[in-house]
C-alpha cells in the first residue's frame, strides 16, 4: 500500500547510507502493514498464472466490483477503530436504496412521487447517516453492546427493505440516477471514481483531523479520552454516521450499477466487509488500523473472487477458498505482530 | 483571609447501598496545597472524579471563585481551570507523546468538522514542555504504549502542568517516578504555586510526599470529613490517627 509510515526508532534502528537502509525500510513497512506482503506476493502470481487477470479490462472490472465493498469496509473500519462494531451497513445499504427507489418510481412498485435524484441521493446518504446516529445512541447512551445493536439493526433494515416490494426488484429508475453506472472517464467508471475519491478524502480526515484523532483516541482508551474532555458519544456518533452515510452512498452506486433496486442485491456482503477490514489490519478491539490497509484487504478479496471466476472454479468452492484465505491472513497477521515485537518495532502512532 | 478558589459543599454520592461520599465539604484557596488523605474506600477517588467533571454528585454544590459551577464533563472542569493528573494517567496507548499531551485540546486549523491537526506545533510544544520539566523522551513519535512507567507519569503530569490551570489535582503523582523525576515534579508544583498562584489538591498515601507538597491535610473516612489539619503544627501520627478513625474513638471516649 502507498502508506509507508515514517520510521519510528526502535533499538534496532541502525544508521547508514539511505540506499543501504532501503531493504530494512521495505522490510519494516511490510511488517507494519500485514496486507502489503500478501499483496506483493499474490498479485504478481495472479498476473503470471491467471489468463486475462492483468488486463486493463479486468482491472476495470475489478475496480468496479471493489467499489461497493470498499465504501462499506471503509465506514465499518472507522467504527471499528473507534472501538465498536457495525454489522448493520449491509442493511443500511439496501434500506436506503429501496427507499430511494420507492421515492423516484411510478405508482405500481414505487410511491408515485417521482422525486428527482438530485434530491433523493443526498436524502439516502442522510438517511444512512441517521441510521448510524440511532446505532450510536443505543451503543453509547443506552450502553448496549454494539454487536447486539447492529446485528438487530441489520435484520430490521433488511426486513424493512423487503416488505413494501414483497421482496421484488424495483426497475425503472430515472436515467439521471443510474447515470454514474453507465458513464466513465478515461476508462474509469464514475462509480469507481466516487468510491475511491471518498476513500481518499476519508483517510485524510481520519489521519489528520481532530475528529479522526478522537476516533483513534476513543478506540485506544475510551476512559482516557473522556478524562481528557473528548466526547465519546460525539466521536462514536460521528463514526457510525460516517459508516451509515457511506452505506447510503454505496446503495446509490450499487443500484446505479444494476439499474435496479432490490433488498437482496448485496446479500451476505457483511462477511466480506469484515474479512476485508481484518485482513487489512484493523484491530477488532479498536484504536488501530488504516483505510489504506482496508483498501488492500478489499483488493485481495476482490482479486480472489475475480481469479476464481477467471479460471472457472466451481462456484461451490468460492466460499471455501475465501475462508481459507481469511484464516491464512489472520495467521500471517499474528506472526507479523510477534516478529515485529521481537525486532522492537512499534506500531505507528495514530 | 483569601476567598477559596474552589469550595465544595454537601457533596453526596451513593452507589447502590454504599455511600461513597456523605455531605463532604472541601475548600481550597489560590496557591494553597491541600493533601486529601484517607484509607481505601474513604471516597477520595469519587471526590476527584466529581471535581474533574467525570461524575455529577447526587447532592451538593461546587463553587468556583464563589460562583456555582456545573461540571458536566472533563471539558467543563478544564474550562473552569481544573486540571487533573489521574492515577491511571489517562494516556491513550496508541497515541504518541504530542497526541497524548494535546488530547482533547489539539492545536488545529480550520473549523469543525475539518479541524486539521498542526502536528509540527504540537511536537514543538511537547519538546519545550518536557524540556522545562527536565525530561527527555528520546522518540516523541513513539506510541505511549512503549514508554516506561516513569515516562508515562511525567507525560501525564506535563499535560496538566502546561495548561494554564487554577487548580491542579494530583492523584498519586510520583508513584512510578524515580528520585530525580520526583524531585522535578515537586519543584514544578512549587513553582506553579508560587509563580502562578495555582492551588493543588494532592491525593496520596505517602506521608513524606504529603509533607513535601502540601501545607494542609483534609482527611476523609468512610465518605465523611474526618479531619482538617495544618501540617505545620500536626504530626504524622495525628494524620494517621484521623485516617484510621483513632481520633473519633478518642473524642468519643
What is the spatial distance between Cα A123 and Cα A154, in angstroms, rounded to a whole number? 20
Radius of gyration of chain B (CA): 19
**In terms of DSSP bridges, do strands B6-15 and B18-28 run parallel, antiparallel, or are they unpaired?**
antiparallel
Banded model confidence at residue A1, pLDDT cuts 50, 70, 90: very low
Asked whether the beta carbons of residue A346 and residue B94 sit closer than 8 angstroms, the reply is no
Question: Which among A13, A140, A224 is the top mutation candidate for probing chain B, defined by the most B β-carbons within 10 Å of its own β-carbon?
Answer: A224
Helix (H) or strand (E) holding B202: strand B199-203
Task: Write out chain B residues lying below 8 Å of A211, CB-based.
Answer: 112-113, 115
Q: What is the total residue count of chain A? A: 350
Q: Do B117 and A226 touch (CB under 8 A)?
A: no
Chain A: residue nearest B146 by CA?
A346
Q: What is the pLDDT of residue A4?
A: 37
Helix/strand/coil percentages in chain B, nearest 5: 35, 25, 35
Alpha carbons A218 and A225: distance in angstroms, whole number: 6
* pLDDT for A150: 97
Taking a C-beta distance cutoff of 8 angstroms, is the pair B243, B37 a contact? yes
Q: And the C-alpha cell for A19?
A: 540506499
Nearest beta carbon to residue A349 from set B75, B86, B99? B99
Residue A14 has pLDDT above 60, yes or no: no
pLDDT value at position A350? 65
Kindly tell me the number of DSSP H helices and DSSP E strands found in chain B.
9, 12
Asked if the Cβ–Cβ distance from A221 to B139 is below 8 Å, we say no
Instruction: Give the pLDDT confidence of A60-78 residue by residue, as tens digits.
Output: 999 998 999 999 999 999 9
CB-based contact, A330 to chain B, within 8 Å: no
Task: Supply A126's cell numbers.
Answer: 442522510
Residues 6+ apart with CB under 8 A from A2: A292
Chain B residues with beta carbon closer than 8 angstroms to that of A344: none
**Least confident stretch, A6-10, A27-31, B19-23, B89-93:** A6-10
Residues on chain B touching A223 (C-beta within 8 angstroms): 88, 90
Binary contact (A210, B96; C-beta < 8 A): no
Contact B103 A288 (CB under 8 A): no
| End-to-end alpha carbon distance in chain A | 17
Which band of pLDDT confidence, cut at 50, 70 and 90, is reported for residue A20?
A: low
Higher-confidence residue: A16 or A25? Answer: A25
Cβ contacts from A onto B, under 8 A: 108
Note whether B86 contacts A205, CB cutoff 8 Å. no
Do residues A69 and A136 touch, judged by C-beta distance below 8 A?
no
ipTM: 0.91
Task: Tell me whether the omega of the peptide bond preceding residue B234 falls within 30 degrees of 0, making it cis.
Answer: no
**CB distance from A228 to chain B under 8 Å?**
yes
Cβ–Cβ below 8 Å for B90 and A223 = yes
Buried b (16+ CB within 10 A) or exposed e, B161-198: bbeebbbbbbbbbbbbbeeebbebbbebbeebbeeeeb
Whether A349 and B103 lie within 8 Å, measured CB to CB? no
**In the structure grid, which three cell numbers stand for residue B147, read together?**
514508554
Rounded to whole angstroms, the Cα distance separating A227 from B211 reads 28
Residue A341 confidence (pLDDT): 73
User: A273: left (phi > 0), else alpha (psi -120 to 50), else beta?
Assistant: alpha
Q: Is B94 within 8 Å of chain A by CB?
A: yes
β-pairing, B167-171 with B82-85? parallel
Q: Please check whether residue B160 touches A, CB under 8 A.
A: no
Closest CB to A346 among B88, B143, B159: B143
Sheet strand arrangement including B33-37: B82-85, B167-171, B199-203, B33-37, B216-221, B224-230
Q: Where are the domains of chain B?
A: 6-94+163-252
Distance, in angstroms, between B223 CA and closest chain A CA?
23
Q: Do B74 and A229 count as a contact with CB atoms less than 8 A apart?
A: yes
Grid coordinates in use for B142? 513513539
Lowest mean pLDDT among A3-17, A176-190, A334-348, B214-228: A3-17
CATH no. for A31-342: 1.10.3470
pLDDT tens, residue by residue, A96-135: 999 999 999 987 777 788 889 999 999 999 999 999 999 9
CB contact at 8 A, B220 and B42: yes
Q: Does B15 touch chain A (CB under 8 A)?
A: no
A347: nearest CA partner in chain B: B143
Tell whether B142 lies on the interface with A, counting CB pairs under 8 A. Answer: yes
Amino acid B137: pLDDT: 81
Place of cell 467499489: A67
Question: A227 and B54: CB-CB below 8 Å?
Answer: yes
What is the residue-level pLDDT of chain B in tens, covering all 253 positions?
Answer: 689 999 999 999 999 999 999 999 999 999 999 999 998 889 999 999 999 999 999 999 999 999 999 999 999 999 999 999 999 999 999 999 999 999 999 999 998 888 999 999 999 999 999 988 877 788 888 889 888 888 888 899 999 988 888 999 999 888 878 888 888 889 889 989 998 899 999 999 889 999 999 999 999 999 999 999 999 999 999 999 999 987 766 665 5
pLDDT for res A108: 75
- B131 in reach of chain A (CB within 8 A): no
CB contact B111 to A (< 8 Å): no
Q: Can you tell me the distance from the alpha carbon of A315 to that of A283, in angstroms, rounded to the nearest whole number?
A: 31
Residue B247 is placed in which grid cell? Answer: 481520633
Assess B235–A contact: CB distance below 8 Å, yes or no.
no
Contact A221 B116 (CB under 8 A): no
**CA nearest neighbour of A211 among B94, B115, B122, B120:** B115
Q: Which helix (H) or strand (E) covers residue B28, if one does? A: strand B18-28
Compute the nearest-CA separation of B191 from chain A (Å): 24
Question: Considering CB atoms only, which of B88, B106, B143 is closest to A349?
Answer: B143
Kindly state the cell numbers that stand for A251. Answer: 446503495
Quick one: what percent of chain A has pLDDT higher than 70? 91
- Mean pLDDT, chain A, whole residue set: 88
pLDDT of residue A254: 95
Taking the C-alpha atoms of residue A260 and residue A65, their distance in angstroms, rounded to an integer, is 16
Beta strands in chain A (DSSP E): 184-185, 188-189
Interface test with A, best of B50, B84, B103 (most A CBs within 10 A): B103
pLDDT recorded at residue A316: 84
Pairing label, strands B199-203, B33-37: parallel
Distance from the Cα of B157 to chain A's closest Cα (Å) equals 13
Q: What is the DSSP letter of A101?
A: H
pLDDT of residue A12: 38
CATH class of B6-94+163-252: alpha beta
C-alpha B154/C-alpha B177 separation (Å) is 8
Q: Does B52 touch chain A (CB under 8 A)?
A: yes
Among B51, B89, B94, B148, the strongest candidate for a mutation testing the A interface, having the largest count of A CBs within 10 A, is B94
| Residue A8 pLDDT class (50, 70, 90 cuts) | very low
Q: Determine contact, residues B82/B165, Cβ cutoff 8 Å.
A: yes
d(CA B104, CA A178): 43
Cell of B71: 461540571
A211 at the B interface (CB within 8 A)? yes
Nearest one of B119, B116, B156 to B135, comparing CA atoms? B156
Amino acid at each position: 500500500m502507498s502508506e509507508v509510515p515514517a520510521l519510528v526508532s526502535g533499538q534496532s534502528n541502525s544508521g547508514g547510507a539511505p540506499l543501504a537502509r532501503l531493504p530494512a525500510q521495505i522490510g519494516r513497512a511490510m511488517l507494519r502493514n500485514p496486507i502489503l506482503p500478501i499483496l506483493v506476493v499474490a498479485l504478481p502470481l495472479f498476473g503470471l498464472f491467471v489468463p486475462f487477470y492483468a488486463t486493463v479490462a479486468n482491472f476495470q472490472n475489478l475496480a468496479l466490483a471493489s467499489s461497493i465493498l470498499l465504501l462499506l469496509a471503509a465506514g465499518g473500519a472507522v467504527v471499528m477503530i473507534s472501538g465498536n462494531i457495525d454489522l448493520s451497513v449491509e442493511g443500511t445499504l439496501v434500506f436506503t436504496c429501496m427507499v430511494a427507489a420507492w421515492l423516484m418510481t411510478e405508482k405500481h412498485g414505487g410511491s408515485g412521487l417521482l422525486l428527482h435524484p438530485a434530491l433523493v441521493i443526498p436524502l439516502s446518504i442522510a438517511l444512512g447517516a441517521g441510521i448510524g446516529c440511532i446505532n450510536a445512541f443505543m451503543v453509547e447512551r443506552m450502553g448496549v453492546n454494539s454487536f447486539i445493536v447492529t446485528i438487530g439493526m441489520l435484520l430490521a433494515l433488511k426486513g424493512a427493505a423487503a416488505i413494501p416490494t414483497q421482496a421484488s426488484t424495483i426497475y425503472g429508475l430515472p436515467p439521471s440516477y443510474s447515470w454514474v453506472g453507465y458513464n466513465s472517464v478515461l476508462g474509469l467508471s464514475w462509480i469507481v471514481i466516487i468510491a475511491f475519491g471518498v476513500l481518499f478524502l476519508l483517510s485524510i480526515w481520519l489521519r489528520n483531523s481532530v475528529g479522526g484523532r478522537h476516533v483513534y483516541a476513543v478506540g485506544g482508551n475510551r476512559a482516557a479520552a473522556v478524562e481528557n474532555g473528548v466526547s465519546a458519544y460525539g466521536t462514536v456518533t460521528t463514526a457510525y454516521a460516517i459508516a451509515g452515510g457511506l452505506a447510503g452512498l454505496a446503495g446509490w452506486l450499487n443500484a446505479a450499477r444494476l439499474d435496479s433496486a432490490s433488498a437482496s442485491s448485496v446479500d451476505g456482503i457483511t462477511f466480506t466487509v469484515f474479512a476485508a477490514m481484518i485482513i487489512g489490519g484493523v484491530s477488532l478491539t479498536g484504536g488501530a488500523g488504516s483505510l489504506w490497509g482496508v483498501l488492500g484487504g478489499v483488493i485481495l478479496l476482490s482479486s480472489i473472487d475475480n481469479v476464481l471466476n477467471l479460471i472457472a472454479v466451481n462456484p461451490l468452492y468460492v466460499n471455501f477458498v475465501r475462508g481459507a484465505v481469511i484464516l491464512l491472513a489472520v495467521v500471517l497477521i499474528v506472526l507479523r505482530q510477534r516478529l515485529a515485537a521481537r525486532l522492537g518495532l512499534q506500531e505507528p502512532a495514530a | 483571609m483569601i476567598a477559596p478558589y474552589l469550595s465544595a459543599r454537601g457533596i453526596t454520592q451513593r452507589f447502590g447501598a454504599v455511600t461513597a461520599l456523605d455531605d463532604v465539604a472541601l475548600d481550597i484557596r489560590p496557591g494553597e496545597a491541600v493533601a486529601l488523605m484517607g484509607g481505601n474506600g474513604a471516597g477520595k477517588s469519587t471526590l476527584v472524579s466529581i471535581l474533574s467533571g467525570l461524575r455529577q454528585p447526587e447532592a451538593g454544590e461546587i463553587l468556583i471563585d464563589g460562583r456555582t459551577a456545573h461540571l458536566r464533563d472533563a471539558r467543563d472542569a478544564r474550562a473552569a481551570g481544573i486540571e487533573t493528573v489521574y492515577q491511571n494517567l489517562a494516556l491513550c496507548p496508541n497515541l504518541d507523546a504530542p497526541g497524548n499531551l494535546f488530547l482533547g485540546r489539539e492545536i488545529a486549523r480550520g473549523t469543525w468538522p475539518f479541524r486539521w491537526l498542526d502536528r509540527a506545533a504540537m511536537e514543538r510544544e511537547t519538546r519545550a514542555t518536557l524540556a522545562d520539566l527536565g525530561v527527555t523522551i528520546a522518540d516523541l513519535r513513539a506510541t505511549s504504549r512503549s514508554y516506561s512507567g516513569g515516562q508515562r507519569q511525567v507525560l501525564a503530569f506535563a499535560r496538566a502542568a502546561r495548561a494554564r490551570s487554577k487548580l491542579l489535582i494530583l492523584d498519586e503523582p510520583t508513584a512510578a517516578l524515580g528520585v530525580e523525576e520526583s524531585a522535578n515534579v515537586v519543584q514544578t508544583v512549587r513553582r506553579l504555586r508560587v509563580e502562578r498562584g495555582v492551588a493543588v489538591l494532592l491525593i496520596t498515601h505517602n506521608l513524606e510526599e504529603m509533607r513535601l507538597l502540601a501545607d494542609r491535610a483534609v482527611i476523609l473516612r468512610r465518605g465523611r470529613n474526618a479531619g482538617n489539619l495544618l501540617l505545620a503544627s500536626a504530626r504524622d501520627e495525628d494524620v494517621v490517627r484521623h485516617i484510621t478513625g483513632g481520633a473519633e474513638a478518642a473524642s468519643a471516649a
